[in-house]
Amino acid sequence: MFAKKLMAVSLISLGMVSSVCVAADQGHGQATMVGSIVSTQASCSISPESADQTIALGQISDTTLLEANGSGKSTPRNFAINLENCEVGAGSSVNVTFSGMEGKDGRLGITGTANGASVAFTDGSGDVLSLGKPSKSFKLSEGNNTLQFSTYLQGDGEPGNIKPGDYQAVADFTLSYQ
């Protein structure tokens, strides 16, 4: 009987001690640094907010895309590629080439449940850019530079193929200094 009471008191004491040893979480976290080192031929660094962007084109009515015999365009959305710490010298200008899954007429193809449209890019002058082909050259100045672009959704010219739904399109961009 005494042994049972001693064991019960020991277990209760052990439980009290172990609960004191486990401290409540006072907060914790993690910091992860990512990036890349680019070639010495690069005259500038790409700012972190420009390296991975999401451009929301919005909810576009299929009637907008049906205009112009199925080649209607959504409202263009501006975006920029910001360059930092540019050292102008040998590479005093840069052009940009967009690449990705090709859609209609050199535009960027879409995936998802939507169909019958593709994504177009324009440079700061409004000139349409084709996937895989470099833009006109942008003149660089010392320090920071901003390269302006726009993007929009455009019907593929086949009204019967435009299908409402969600879509996504992913483009990579490559800089080439001259």
Domains along the chain? 58-177 (2.60.40.1090)
What is the reported pLDDT for 24? 76
Residues of the chain above pLDDT 90, percent: 69
What is the reported pLDDT for 114? 95
Decide: 76 and 150 in contact? Cβ < 8 Å. yes
Rounded to two decimals, the pTM is 0.78
Q: Is the pLDDT of residue 94 over 80?
A: yes
Q: Is the pLDDT of residue 165 over 60?
A: yes
Tokens, residue 133: 């082909």
pLDDT in tens, 35-59: 666 665 668 899 999 999 999 999 9
Distance (Å, whole) CA 171 – CA 121: 10
